[in-house]
């Protein structure tokens, strides 16, 4: 049976086959610790506030709003119909931090070879001036991006991935083929190849136009709550996902922003573009089996389609899902 995923803002998706632990619920979080009104209160004597007229929207105007199919935030109809880009992001320790990741609508984290993971970041609502570092393709990442009818951005790929894209005619931007005006090595980051390939939304958009890729998509996306609501689940102020002994992701809930920060291997993750901590509204953890690819040596495959178990984490709570 298919399930609809109800999201609030942005989504961070984790694909894991290892331990997942969340804090146990010890009691309800007081309402005052989860403010929906983020205005700052000040002393009346220090600020003079001039009267202003508030514009009240009608029911018809509210219902006519357009919300992003991937974030649930207001967006123009034209922008919402645009085809997204999904970028293969290098997550090797030597590749961190990541540029533009805070502006991604959705981020998947999945295991690759060794004890490493990579990100698949979907860009639709925002247009970062810098995105990266970019790394090579894997088939199961391509399957994920196909769910969103996106244009896949990568730097080379496994034999399986390259063959799969050629057979399917997958719209893609390959850093090993395109010119440096589209994907380039950025030496200013103090990172070395292969951990320093970057692009920009503008560069990707120009390439997609030149390549003749379809500009719009009919993918419907997700359904969203427009107000923050409780899951009525167990407490999840901290969420810990262990891929390997030396590869762990931890998410800590901030009741003031009602989002999660991200710590990778004990280091707080920030966007390389602005040095700001990531703010994650929703986390979906999918537990899967992975194993050596029987047809291509040196790479993995995983069973992530069909039935399975996982967790939905949001607003300081979690629920088991399947």
- Residue pLDDT tens, the chain, 322 long: 233 333 333 457 566 654 445 655 444 333 333 333 333 333 333 333 344 455 666 655 555 688 899 988 899 999 999 999 999 999 999 999 999 999 999 999 999 999 999 999 999 999 999 999 999 999 999 999 999 999 999 999 999 999 999 999 999 999 999 999 999 999 999 999 999 999 999 999 999 999 999 999 999 988 877 777 778 889 999 999 999 999 999 999 999 999 999 999 999 999 999 999 999 999 999 988 899 999 999 999 998 888 888 999 999 999 999 8
Residue 98's nearest CA partner among 226, 272, 261 is 272
Q: What is the pLDDT of residue 6?
A: 30
Q: Is residue 198 part of a domain?
A: yes
Q: Is residue 36 part of a domain?
A: no
Residue pair 9/282 in contact (Cβ under 8 Å)? The answer is: yes
Q: What is the pLDDT of residue 229?
A: 72
The domain of 161 spans: 75-211
In three-state secondary structure terms, 146 is helix
CA distance linking residue 122 with residue 124, whole number of Å: 7
Q: What is the pLDDT of residue 131?
A: 98
Q: Is residue 270 part of a domain?
A: no
- Provide CB contacts within 8 A for 290, sequence distance 6+: 17, 111, 300, 301, 302, 303
Q: Is residue 290 part of a domain?
A: no
Q: Is residue 40 part of a domain?
A: no
Q: What is the pLDDT of residue 58?
A: 62
Q: Is residue 298 part of a domain?
A: no
Q: Is residue 39 part of a domain?
A: no
CA distance linking residue 112 with residue 275, whole number of Å: 27
Instruction: Give the number of residues written for the chain.
Output: 322
Q: How many domains does the chain have?
A: 1
CATH assignment at residue 123:
3.50.90.10
Q: Is residue 135 part of a domain?
A: yes
CA distance linking residue 205 with residue 154, whole number of Å: 15
Q: What is the pLDDT of residue 59?
A: 54
């Amino acid at each position: 049976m298919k399930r609809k995923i109800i999201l609030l803002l942005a989504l961070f998706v984790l694909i894991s086959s290892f331990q997942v632990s969340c804090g146990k619920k010890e009691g309800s979080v007081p309402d005052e610790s989860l403010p929906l009104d983020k205005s700052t209160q000040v002393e009346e004597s220090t600020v003079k506030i001039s009267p202003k007229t508030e514009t009240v929207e009608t029911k018809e105007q509210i219902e006519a709003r357009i919300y992003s199919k991937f974030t649930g935030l207001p967006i123009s109809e034209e922008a919402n119909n645009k085809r997204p880009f999904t970028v293969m992001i290098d997550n090797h320790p030597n590749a961190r931090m990541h540029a533009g990741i805070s502006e991604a609508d959705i981020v998947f984290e999945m295991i690759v070879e060794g004890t490493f993971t990579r990100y698949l970041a979907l860009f639709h609502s925002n247009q970062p001036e810098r995105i990266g570092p970019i790394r090579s393709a894997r088939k199961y990442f391509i399957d994920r991006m196909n769910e969103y009818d996106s244009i896949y951005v990568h730097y080379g790929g496994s034999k399986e991935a390259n063959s799969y894209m050629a057979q399917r005619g997958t719209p893609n931007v390959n850093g090993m083929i395109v010119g440096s005006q589209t994907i380039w090595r950025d030496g200013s980051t103090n990172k070395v190849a292969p951990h320093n390939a970057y692009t920009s939304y503008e560069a990707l958009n120009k390439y997609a136009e030149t390549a003749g890729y379809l500009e719009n998509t009919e993918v419907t996306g997700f359904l969203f709550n427009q107000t923050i609501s409780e899951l009525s689940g167990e407490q999840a102020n901290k969420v810990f996902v262990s891929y390997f002994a030396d590869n762990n992701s931890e998410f800590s809930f901030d009741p003031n922003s009602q989002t999660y920060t991200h710590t990778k291997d004990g280091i707080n993750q920030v966007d390389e573009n602005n040095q700001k901590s990531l703010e994650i509204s929703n986390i979906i953890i999918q537990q899967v089996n992975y194993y050596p690819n029987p047809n291509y040596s040196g790479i993995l495959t995983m069973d992530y389609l069909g039935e399975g178990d996982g967790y939905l984490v949001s607003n300081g709570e979690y629920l088991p899902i399947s």
